[in-house]
């Protein structure tokens, strides 16, 4: 017996109930044409991801229920199969997930999604067959004890409706857990995951089926919207029949897609999708950024160009007396290559005007030993320029800081930290270089000199980053150990053999820079822990990392 599944790699907009229902209906029409028996939507299909606080509002919950009822009534007479999706209820300020089952009879049933076993008649091309299945939503399937309660001897396959945020190891972790918790019990798995960018989270889709031996079947593409269709054999060998129907809604997918043959390609696709969706879902079209001639802003511009098109990007060089001519030359060369709008705005007149106005006050104050007033003033003048142009264009300023800078506070509040979205905020500096090199293998986008030259903020004569920070290859190891793996300075020193002085310095910078991170623009998470997701420490504390 074969059951034809359709897994919707679905990219909803949070709170856009009407738009999400319309897109779900498009998936339904495709499923009908392909003879799908069971159509599965990921978790949060109706509402979109990240609605936590909104679910405490009765008007939000009521609107979702209205859409669910409308969707059910609309499709019950037109689809001979079964549809699985989730919605939510709010009772006594307790939000819980509910399974919505739309079947060929005009009925819409609701069940708590704590994981349960059902024996139902499923209508297929071979006639009605009794099939045992279990349903899991969200993290339920990750709990072995919960799974034991939910499965029975009659269970032949498990359907998982998930919204599992992407990070570099998310797919391998998901696969191993499914093998261990479900497939090892002789039960097939049908896994449907959410797609798209939502604030700091990215979802990669990547729906699939898993047999009892832990072998993957019908693997859908990553970071791509569409309908993954395959036949699942319940009593016979797996069918090889599979197809993927792709379609877009309002250009919510990234402009360019790449074959995910490397870690860099995977990360680039995640960042591109996240950037595209943040801009488009917030009703914007264009971006503005400061293009310094350095590696970070070059990578951010390349990502933005891939995400929303070069014609929607506006780059500005804002040189000072400390800016090398090669920085301006490389910035212009990159914009010419991409056909991005490019302007030069020297900051000296603005900087000098502000400095002259406050000079009497500054001269009356004894400077401290680490005074960076004049350096930060340059960065803040640039922030003013970027925001003014973005305001006039109704565009979004992209912040260009990386994770290494964010961890150590190597940035200026209200200066180079200005922006509404921080594209590479979870990308360590060493990985920024790897991404730049990979992108140039696709097409020569970033001038080679940008990749080869020593990084510098160019806020003082002869300045380079390593005047203030440990070498990035060492710094990034320390940051990963402290931030992602919760290692102490002593543990890092003992396990890595890295210099104690560099570890202690990084630990101190990480601690005292928390107040900056609290005021930074959010950005997409690609690691197990970013500073916007999973890093929850107070600004004021005396604990030593």
Provide the pLDDT for residue 300: 99
The label of the residue with tokens 């679905």 reads 10
Per-residue pLDDT, averaged over 171-180, amounts to 93
**Residues 35-69 pLDDT 10s:** 998 899 998 999 999 877 888 888 998 999 899 88
Provide the pLDDT for residue 128: 44
Phi, psi of 217 (to 5 degrees): -130, 150
**Residues 241-284 pLDDT 10s:** 777 776 655 556 666 666 667 999 999 999 999 999 999 999 99
Of 235-239, 434-438, 500-504, the poorest mean pLDDT is in: 235-239
- The mean of the pLDDT values for the chain is 86
Per-residue pLDDT, averaged over 379-400, amounts to 97
Provide the pLDDT for residue 157: 81
Which band of pLDDT confidence, cut at 50, 70 and 90, is reported for residue 99? low
**162 versus 83: which is more confidently predicted?**
162
Per-residue pLDDT, averaged over 189-208, amounts to 95
Domains and CATH numbers, the chain: 2-247 (3.60.110.10), 263-465 (3.40.50.620)
Contact 230, 31 (CB under 8 A): no
Provide the pLDDT for residue 124: 39
State yes or no: pLDDT of 123 exceeds 50. no
**Residues 458-491 pLDDT 10s:** 666 666 666 667 889 999 999 999 999 999 999 9
**Residues 214-249 pLDDT 10s:** 999 889 989 999 999 998 776 655 566 777 776 655
Phi, psi of 183 (to 5 degrees): -60, -35
Which band of pLDDT confidence, cut at 50, 70 and 90, is reported for residue 163? very high
Share of the chain above pLDDT 70, in %: 83
Long-range CB contacts for residues 118-124, cutoff 8 Å, separation at least 24? 119/154, 120/82, 122/3, 122/37, 122/38, 122/81, 122/82, 123/37, 123/80, 123/81, 124/1, 124/2, 124/3, 124/4, 124/37
User: Which pairing describes strands 287-290 and 396-399: parallel, antiparallel, or unpaired?
Assistant: parallel
Provide the pLDDT for residue 111: 36
**Residues 341-367 pLDDT 10s:** 999 999 999 999 999 999 999 999 998
**Residues 109-118 pLDDT 10s:** 333 333 333 3
Provide the pLDDT for residue 158: 85
Decide: residue 372, CB within 10 A, 0-12 exposed, 13-18 middle, 19+ buried: middle
Which band of pLDDT confidence, cut at 50, 70 and 90, is reported for residue 422? very high
Contact 228, 9 (CB under 8 A): yes
Provide the pLDDT for residue 104: 44
State yes or no: pLDDT of 167 exceeds 90. yes
Provide the pLDDT for residue 295: 96
């Amino acid at each position: 017996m074969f059951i034809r599944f359709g897994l919707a790699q679905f990219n909803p907009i949070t709170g856009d109930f009407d738009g999400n229902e319309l897109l779900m209906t498009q998936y339904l029409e495709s499923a009908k044409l392909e003879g799908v028996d069971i159509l599965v939507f990921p978790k949060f299909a109706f509402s979109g991801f990240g609605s936590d606080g909104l679910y405490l509002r009765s008007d939000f919950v009521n609107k979702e229920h209205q859409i669910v009822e409308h969707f059910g009534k609309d499709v019950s007479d037109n689809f001979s199969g079964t549809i699985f999706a989730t919605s939510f209820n709010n009772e006594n300020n307790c939000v819980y997930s509910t399974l919505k089952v739309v079947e060929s009879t005009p009925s819409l049933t609701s069940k708590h999604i704590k994981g349960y076993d059902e024996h139902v008649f499923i209508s297929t091309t071979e006639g009605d067959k009794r099939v045992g299945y279990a349903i899991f939503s969200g993290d339920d399937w990750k709990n072995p004890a919960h799974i034991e309660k939910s499965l029975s001897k009659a269970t032949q396959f498990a359907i998982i409706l998930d919204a599992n945020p992407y990070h570099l190891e998310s797919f391998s972790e998901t696969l191993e857990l499914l093998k261990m918790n479900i497939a090892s019990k002789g039960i097939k798995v049908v896994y449907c995951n959410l797609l798209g960018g939502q604030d700091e989270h990215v979802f990669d889709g990547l729906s699939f089926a898993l047999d009892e031996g832990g072998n993957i079947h019908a693997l859908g593409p990553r970071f791509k919207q569409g309908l993954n269709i395959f036949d699942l054999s319940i009593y016979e060998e797996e069918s090889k029949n599979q197809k993927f129907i792709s379609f877009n809604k309002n250009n919510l997918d990234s402009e360019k897609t790449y074959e995910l043959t490397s870690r860099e390609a995977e990360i680039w696709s995640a960042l591109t999708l996240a950037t595209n969706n943040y801009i488009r879902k917030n009703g914007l079209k264009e971006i503005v950024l400061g293009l310094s001639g350095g590696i970070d802003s070059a990578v951010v511009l390349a990502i933005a160009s891939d995400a929303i098109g070069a014609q929607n990007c506006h780059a500005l060089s804002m040189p000072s007396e400390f800016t090398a001519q090669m920085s301006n030359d490389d910035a212009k060369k990159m914009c010419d290559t991409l056909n991005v709008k490019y302007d030069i705005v020297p900051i000296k007149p603005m900087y000098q005007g502000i400095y002259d106005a406050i000079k009497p006050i500054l001269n009356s104050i004894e400077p401290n030993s680490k005074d960076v007033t004049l350096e930060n003033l340059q960065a803040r003048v640039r922030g003013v320029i970027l925001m003014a142009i973005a305001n006039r264009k109704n565009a979004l300023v992209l912040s260009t800081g990386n994770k290494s800078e964010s961890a150590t506070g190597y940035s200026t509040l209200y200066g180079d930290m200005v922006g509404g979205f921080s594209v590479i905020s979870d990308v360590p500096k060493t990985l920024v270089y790897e991404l730049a090199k990979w992108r140039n293998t696709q097409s020569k986008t970033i001038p080679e000199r940008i990749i080869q030259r020593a990084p510098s903020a160019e806020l003082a004569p002869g300045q380079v980053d390593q005047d203030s920070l440990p070498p990035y290859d060492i710094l990034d190891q320390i940051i990963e150990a402290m931030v992602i793996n919760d290692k102490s300075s002593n543990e890092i020193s003992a396990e890595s053999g890295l210099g104690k002085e560099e570890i202690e310095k990084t630990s101190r910078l990480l601690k005292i820079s928390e107040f900056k991170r609290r005021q930074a623009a959010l950005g997409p998470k690609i690691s197990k822990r970013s500073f916007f997701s999973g890093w929850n420490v107070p600004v004021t504390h005396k604990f030593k990392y």
